[in-house]
Structure formats: C-alpha cells, structure tokens
Structure 1
Amino acid sequence: MMFEEKPEGNGSLVDENQLYLGSRHQANGKPGASGKAKFSARQEANAKCDLPRKSLNRYTWQEIQRHRQETDQWLVINRKVYDVTGWADRHPGGRKVLNHYAGEYATDVFRAMHPDPDIVQLYLKPLLIGELAPEEPNQERNKNSQLVDDFQELRRTLETMNLFNANLGFFSLHLAQILILEALAWVIVWHFGSGWLVTIFISCLLAVAQAQSGFLQHDMGHLSIFKKSKWNHLLQKFVMGHLKGLSVKWWNNQHFQHHVKTNIYLKDPDIDVDPFLLIGDLQPVKYGRNKIKFINYEKQHLYFCTVGVHLFTPVAFNLKSMKEMYQRRYWEDIAWVSSSYIRYFITFVPFYGLFGTLGLMCLVKFLESPWIAYVTQMSHIPMKVSKEENQDWFSTQVLATCNVEQSFFNDWFTGHLNFQIEHHLFPTMPRHNYHKVAPLVKSLCAKHGLPYVNKPMLKAFGDTLRALKKSGALWKEAYCMHPQT
C-alpha cells in the first residue's frame, strides 16, 4: 500500500499538509456533517500530542473481518484499526490495493510499501477508529505469529544496518548509462547514415537503453532517492514518462497490486492475462471444464516464446498505459509520455522520415520486449499461483517468487531483479543491497521450513516455459474429460 505520494496539485509530498477525506469518520471517530471533511494532518498530529489520550474503541478480529467490502474497508496496522473507506479513492497506489487488505492484518505490507512511515502517519491519524481488544493477537489466528515476529525482527536489523538507504552514485551511474546509449545511437546514425546495418545496431543500443530504463523505472516507483520528495516525484516522472514512455499512475495502480498480493488470482494483475495465457493450476482447469478455447492452450508455451514475448512490452505495457491515461485523463502523465515521443521524432525523423521512425520504434520494442518479458516473468510464473489464503507477508512473498543466481552479468541483465525474493519482501530497499540481505532471508526460510528457490538464469527461462506447458496440459485434460456445463 502506498499512502505517501503527494496529492494532486503541487510538487510536494503533502500539499501544505492538507488532507481531504471522503471518510465517514472524522478524527474523533464521529461522522462529519456532509460525510466529507478537511484536515490539516500535521495539525491533527500535533493536537493529539497535546490533548489527554482518549480511550479508543476496541474490536475483535471477527468484527474487523466483517468490514472487507469495497464500500466498507477496515484494516489493522500495529494493533490500530483504521477505516480507509473514504480514503481509498485518493490512495496513490490505487483503491484496489486497500481493498485487497480490507479486514486483514496489514502491518507488514504497510511497512514494506512505504519508504517513509513517519510521513504516512499524518495520513493515518484521521482514519483511526479504534484498536484491537487486549485479548486479541496482533494478527489473525491463522497466521504464524512466530514467523511474523521473526520477520519484523529481521527488518529492524536491516534498518539498523542502513540497508534501506539508497546510494545516489549507483543510480546516477545507471541513469548516465541510459542517456549515453541514447546519445550514442543518435551520433552513430548522424555520422554513418541510416543504412540497414546501422539501423539494426542503433536499434540494439536503444533496446538496451529502454530495458535499463525499465529497471530504473521500477526503482523510482519504490524508492526515496532524494531527501526532498518533490525531487523523487520529478525523477519518477522523468524516468517513467519521458525515458520509458509509460504512465506513472497506471504503473503504480498495476504494480503495487502485484506486490501486495503476488500470484493471487483476481488480485495480482500480472497473472490476469487470460484469455491469451492461462497460468497456474486453477485457471486452466476452470477454462477446460467450461469448454473455453480462445487459443489452443495446450501449445501456449510455444505461443509465448515465439509471439507473446514480442508483444509483451508494446501491448501489455504501452497500449494499456495509453488506454488508461486517456480514459482517466491523467493529463500530467500524458504530457510526460508525449514528450518521450516528441523527443524520438525530433531525433530520428531527419534521418528516417515519419514512417521510418515509427518503424524504428517498433523494431526497438520488438528487441526489448523478450528481454523484459523473461526477466519479469521467470520469477513468478513457475511459482505458486493460488486463490487468496491470507498467509503472512513473508510466506506469501517467498512462495510466489524465486531468485536467479548472482553474477555481474545476471545483476546487470535483470536490473538486480534476479533477487526477486528480497525485492518482494523489501520493495523500498535499493537493489544494490539485495545481495547483502539474501543470506539472512535464506536463513529465516530455513528456520521456518520455507523453500528459498535460487536458479541459474537459463533454468529460470526454461521453467517459465515448462510452467506454461504444464498449465496448458491441465486445460487440455479438463477440456477433454468434462462435459460442457
């Protein structure tokens, strides 16, 4: 969940510390006259420090779990109960992220997704409506409380080691790499002309730049590189919008859902790719029993590695991003993405003409897309895909992700997303620190009997195809054995 991004209106994290709430509750827990209220979050926090503490309403888990509808959402963070119903529409990570944790223990996911929890507390205070009753455990009774405690202790250890602090030099070099590759492509075509060999070569350079922009874009969505939030916000817009050509708001809404409910049907949009592909064990059987056949899913692994990987970036990313931008009128994102295409045309139209430049853009996407598709999918498709089981944060992420062995090339080629387990457990940790954390995470997995999967890269690529082939076989079996219902 992401509370801390700025509201619309200026470049700061909190717009003069004003918080507009469409909640049914004011800070004192009573309904407002119009159902809506304006609060100064910082003033509210300061006022509560000056006033004697009032007793809070106390709730059981059974009561909290009744409030998990889209129109009625409570969640628990550090034993405090919050009504986030009215806040959901303004949540920078999207309303669905909150809905996915409604009625649940959200302490670990809340801490994982927010780089600066102190700022987020300003947003939380007006939403506070009570606390867990003293006899209630910190989390639902079905969760492994010892594992939850051990994971929180691990996080405190990592914070003490300053492993959540970003190295500005590391990310500056990454950005410089991208800018140099794009500039080099222009210099080459300017000096050598637009022959087909030159075109292929600069397409490769630009594809590398685009792939690395994608990895840097991924960082910008999670990290606080600068101490001042307005610079973080501007850098994210520049990398995602201008360099990569994607809508920041679309990416946030999609990607944060993926992080908070990884590989969970109907909650993780990254596995919601039907009818083009069927993933996991449940979805193929459902399609087979209902005689649904948009393609021959028995051969979907072949479609993926020949056609799907090339459509991944231009269709799954760019077209979806454009569609949401224009449907929801994300004007700021539209301006940034437009600047990306304008720069491309200004750079290459003098050499290739309008249609030639469009062809060059398609070629770059064609080369980049398999790279991004395999890197992003190899750590999830072969892993556990399930319905909601309401497991603890640590178990959910470890079972749904896997790592790829570390090497200088693997780290560069994947943008350090080869440490996918660590990235999902600690999304706000800068990726240059993942290798330091991995032994500690592996040790905690061993203590609690959880698998810590670490593969060679080629095996990870192969496992992706084998998982798709297995899902296709399940579909075929169900399709042939069950009569249409």
Structure 2
Amino acid sequence: MTDVTTAGAQARARGSDYAVLARRIADAGLLERRPGYYTVRIGLVGALLVAGWTAFFLVGDSWYQLLVAVLLAVAFAQAALLAHDVAHRQVFRSRRSSEIAGLVAGNLVIGMSYGWWMDKHTRHHANPNHEERDPDVSPEILIWSERQARASRGVARFIGRWEAFLFFPLLTLEGLNLHVASVRALRRPSLRNRRTEGLLLAVHAAAYLGAVFAVLPAGKALAFLALHQAVFGVYLGCTFAPNHKGMPTLTGEQELDFLRRQVLTSRNVRGGLLLDAVLGGLNHQIEHHLFPSMPTPNLRRARPIVRAYCAELGVPYLESGLLSSYGQALRHMHAVGAPLRARRRAAGPDAPAPSGASAD
C-alpha cells in the first residue's frame, strides 16, 4: 500500500502544491458553509450594537458616556470584522446577498465604503506584502522595507525614522482615515453602486452625528466622538497588525507560486476561542489567505492540516503569541527606519534637504 508521503509526491507531480492542499481541505469538509454559526454571530453583533446605542440614550448627558463610547467602538469593530467575512462570501452563497449585507454592515452601520474596501482588500489578498501591488504596504505614511525608506519623501520620510514608536498613536486616527477614504472613493467612476454607497454613508453620518449632538452638549459630544473613533481605529489596527507586519515583503523581481506567496508573507497568532472571537478569526491568517472563502470557525480546524503540509514541503509556517507578534512587527518597523535615522545623523540638524527631497 502506498504511504502518505509517496502519495503526496505523486499528487504533486500531477498538479500544483496548492492543489494537493486544497483537495485535503475539501475532503475534510472545511469549505462547507456554517449558517448556524453566522446566524448566532450576526445576532450577537446586532445585540451588541443595540445594547450600545440603548445605553447611550439611557445614560444621557454624562461623562459616563465615555464608557459607552468604548463599548460602541468594540461593537463597530465587530461589525467591521463581520463585514470582512461577508465580503469573502463566507456567509452567503450569492454575490448579491453578500453585497447587500456588506453595504448595510459597512456603509450604514459603521460608515465605511464597502466597495472601496472590497477593491483594496482584494488587491491585498492577490499580492500580500508586495511593495508595488499590495495597497496595505504602500508607503504613504508608514514604510515597510529599507527599499521604501531609501525612496521615501515627505510625511513618510519624516515619520519613518521613529514609526515603531508612533505606530499605536497613529492607529487612533485610523477610524477617521477609513471615513475620509470612503468619502473620497465616491468620486471614483469605477466604484460600483456609487449612489447607493453615498446615500448610505450620508444616512450613517446624519444618524450618528445627529444622535451624539442631540444627546450631548458640544464638549462632551466631541470627547465622545474622539474616543469612539480612536478606540475603533486602535481595535481594527491591532486586529490586522499581527497578520503581515514584520513578515517578508516582495517586489516585482520576486515571483512565488500561490501557496508560498500566501504562507511566507503571513503570520498566525496562537490562542484559544476567545482570541478567535476578539480577532474575528484573523489570527488564523495563513489559512484565511490560502482559503479566503472558508468560514471563520473552520480556520482553526484547517490549521493543523496546513501546518503539516507546509512541513512536508519545507515551507516555513510562522506562529507566535499575540504580544510577540506585535513585538516582531514593531522591531521590523524600527529596523527599516534605520537608513533614515542614519541619514539624519550624517547630515546633521542644520543640513539642507537633498535635491529633489522635501524638507522635514
């Protein structure tokens, strides 16, 4: 009888490494829908949102609203994570149902353009950590490689020197950035359903700002909005930061097959079911990138299959604890900023900016 190793080698000879893994995952039934799980999850997220807004109106004009702001930030982040699963067709079979649910969760509930985010996230999945193709590692504010550091200008060059120390403070602005980017996206002719998206974003803004300023005086309203958006941004940033930050980045000269492109640029975060709930299952990032439409609760079950297969192939499969993953990301960010710090020290504080570069 042929052993597993020999069978695997023969199968790989007939197809790609990814095809072999995909057959194993499919045979384990891990690509099947989980309607019961998503019914419960949608109900819980909906209940959390209702509880948050109910508490907001019951508490009224009080500084205790800052606690409610934190609660609602968690609810908004969980709605965003649910919209992520919807976008990957993990929840509904049809594209139309997924699109409607995504518009409700994204545009109406949290004020983020579903179509804009879908385009950005699709490009990320196709080429994770690719410096020219992945919008998540474009050097607009932060830099992700020494190559980007050497080519950086303006804000990215200024922040890049100490971005490891500025990363978490900058995340407090991520919620605001998502709203601004969503409004800007409405000007793009390529955005599907622009009118619908614009209408839903306007309804969200009117209801959200109207409720806050109707219940709270201006000072407390502004404090509520600032804290709510800051915690929302930090939560989302801390959810996505462990996944790819600090992992190898690719350039146009580096072409990998699909399996290696996804595994080598991703990091898993070890933890139990509570961590799955907090991070929306994105702690199983390797499995999610290999099988984006796999329902979240199946990712944990896929993990040992993928890990064992990567060991067969000799492909590095990285896992770490949550705090360790943040440490790896921050150390990487500090390291890639070294050329900028060295250039600053060499030039001296009074030296003029190089020709063609913007002054700090």
TM-score by structure 2 length? 0.85
Q: Secondary structure at the match of 1:279?
A: coil
Q: Which residue of 2 aligns with 1:173?
A: 40
Deviation at 1:146, TM superposition (A): 5.4
Match of 1:100 in 2: none
Residue of structure 2 equivalent to 1:126: none
The one of 280, 291, 314 aligned to 1:449: 314
> Which secondary structure does the structure 2 equivalent of 1:252 belong to?
helix
State the match for 2:4 in structure 1. none
CA contact (8 A) 1:265 1:386 kept: yes
Q: Does 1:230 align with 2:91?
A: no
Where 1:256 maps in the other structure, the secondary structure is: helix
Q: Do structure 1's residue 460 and structure 2's residue 322 form an aligned pair?
A: no
Q: Where do 1:183-332 residues align within 5 Å?
A: 183-197=50-64, 199-274=65-140, 276-287=141-152, 294-295=157-158, 297-306=160-169, 308-315=170-177, 317-328=178-189, 330-332=194-196
Which whole-Å CA distance do the structure 2 matches of 1:336 and 1:242 have between them?
A: 5
Paired residues for 1:19-34 under 5 Å: none
Q: Secondary structure at the match of 1:444?
A: helix
> Partner amino acid for 2:205?
Y
Q: Distance in 1 between matches of 2:34 and 2:55?
A: 32
Q: Partner amino acid for 2:231?
A: L
Contact 2:69 2:224 in 1 (8 A): yes
User: Aligned partners of 1:312 and 1:192: how far apart in 2?
Assistant: 27
Q: CA deviation at 1:179?
A: 2.0
Q: Distance in 1 between matches of 2:99 and 2:168?
A: 36
Deviation per CA, 1:90-121: give whole Å up to 9, x if none: xxxxxxxxxxxxxxxxxxxxxxxxxxxxxxxx
CA 1:478–1:451: 2 relative to 1, 3 Å:
farther
Which residue of the partner structure matches residue 22 of structure 2?
155
Structure with more contact order per residue of length (Cα contacts < 8 Å, sep ≥ 6): 2
Q: Aligned partner of 1:450: which letter?
A: V
Q: How many angstroms does 1:190 deviate by?
A: 3.1
Give the root-mean-square deviation of aligned CA atoms. Answer: 2.6
**1:273 shift after superposition:** 3.3
Letter in 2 for 1:314: L
Distance 1:417 1:206 in 2: 21
Which secondary structure state, in structure 2, belongs to the residue aligned with residue 175 of structure 1? helix
Question: Any idea what SS the aligned residue of 1:196 has?
Answer: coil
How do 1:350-365 and structure 2 match up within 5 A? 350-352=214-216, 357=221, 359-365=223-229
- Which has more strand, going by share of residues? 1
- With over 3 angstroms needed to count, the CA separation of the structure-2 counterparts of 1:370 and 1:345, relative to structure 1, is closer
Which amino acid is the alignment partner of residue 130 of structure 2?
I
Does the 8 A contact of 1:220 with 1:236 survive in 2?
yes
CA distance in 1, matches of 2:217, 2:148: 46
The secondary structure found in structure 2 opposite 1:400 is coil
User: Which stretches in structure 2 are left out of the alignment for 5+ residues?
Assistant: 1-11, 348-352, 356-360
The 5 A counterparts of 1:62-77 are none
Q: Measure, in 1, the Cα distance between the counterparts of 2:156 and 2:237.
A: 24
2:305 is equivalent to residue 434 of structure 1: no
Q: CA deviation at 1:229?
A: 3.9
Tell me which residue corresponds to 2:339.
474
Distance 1:292 1:231, change over 3 A: closer
Question: 2:240 and 2:287 mapped to 1: Cα distance?
Answer: 15
8 Å CA contact 2:113, 2:197 repeated in 1: yes
| 2-structure distance, mates of 1:147, 1:304 | 46
Q: Displacement, 1:384?
A: 0.3
The Cα shift of 1:434 comes to 0.4
Matched residue count: 335
How far off its partner does 1:432 sit? 0.8
- What residue in structure 1 maps to residue 287 of structure 2? 422
Task: State the alpha-carbon separation in 2 of the partners of residues 286 and 435 from structure 1.
Answer: 40
CA pair 336-232 structure 1, distance change in 2 beyond 3 A: same
Deviations along 1:333-364, one digit per CA (max 9) or x if unpaired, are 11122222233245444312577545533321
- Quick one: which amino acid aligns to residue 305 of structure 2? L
Displacement of 1:374:
1.9
Cα displacement (A) at 1:297: 2.7
* Separation in structure 2 between the aligned mates of residue 477 and residue 428 of structure 1, nearest angstrom: 44
Task: Please state how far the C-alpha of 1:441 moved relative to its aligned partner.
Answer: 0.9
Structure 1 residue 396 displacement after superposition: 0.6
Deviation at 1:182, TM superposition (A): 2.2
Going from structure 1 to structure 2, the CA distance change for 1:392 and 1:257 (only over 3 Å counts) comes to same
Alpha-carbon separation, structure 1, partners of 2:311 and 2:114: 38
Report SS of the residue matched to 1:326.
coil
3-state SS of 2:161 partner? helix
> Which residue of structure 2 lines up, in the alignment, with residue 381 of structure 1?
245
1:241 deviation in Å? Answer: 1.4
Q: Helix, strand or coil: the match of 2:43?
A: helix
CA positional deviation for 1:251: 0.8
* Greater share of helix: 2
Say if 1:479 and 1:395 are closer, same or farther in 2 by CA, change over 3 A.
farther
Q: CA deviation at 1:185?
A: 2.3
